[in-house]
Chains A and B, each alone.
Chain A
């Protein structure tokens, strides 16, 4: 597609439920990132993927969070047993290669509200 696509755009869920967020990166982009942004805050790194290499999961806040990516395509971020503090905008980004000198293209995010 023309840009990074995330779905759903908005998600309201009850505390304790599991949610799955989806990211479709730009075709041909080998690197994919997930970030979380709480209201009025900066972006908090969660995880990144590069091709078939082992992902860097160092930013995942707890074992309730997990992410998968099949090859260089779609990624899903799963949050189990959601808590109110999980409420945030979850942003996905992709870049042509994984590296320090390539720009990241962001999706519009999924706004998650846990009630």
Chain B
């Protein structure tokens, strides 16, 4: 399977609830990034966490990284209807020395007003 796989594939929550999405990857990485995509078009960068970091916050977003388990989670607190989108994690492959960002298939989040 590919680098950077998100789970769940789809998530539906009520406005105000927290949403948690997970990402697993296979290789050693330099950093992991989360992106958001609305309506299947351009992606917007949300947050980047380096391999030597364990947790990072940005507004209502909280990202954790566990390099021993090769996994990351994205938590969106106090969700809003406007958070409805697909969320992707993206990783590099430090072992391959590649600058490719490899994206997973994403988690489709629906926030119900």
Chain A interface (Cβ within 8 Å of chain B)? 4, 31, 33, 35, 37, 39-43, 45, 48, 50, 56, 58-59, 89, 91, 93, 98-101, 103-109
Contact = CB atoms under 8 A, between A and B. Distances in A.
A91 B48 CA distance: 20
Given A91-B42, A98-B99, A101-B50, 16 more contacts: A35-B103, A39-B40, A40-B105, A41-B105, A42-B2, A42-B105, A43-B103, A45-B101, A45-B103, A56-B98, A89-B41, A100-B94, A101-B30, A104-B33, A104-B43, A108-B41
Contacts of A105: 45
Dominant SS among interface residues on chain B: strand
A104 B88 CA distance: 13
B18 interface: no
Counting chain B CB atoms within 10 Å of each CB, which of A40, A56, A59 scores highest?
A: A40
A109 B42 contact: yes
Interface of B: 2, 4, 29-31, 33, 35, 40-45, 48, 50, 88, 90, 92, 94, 98-106
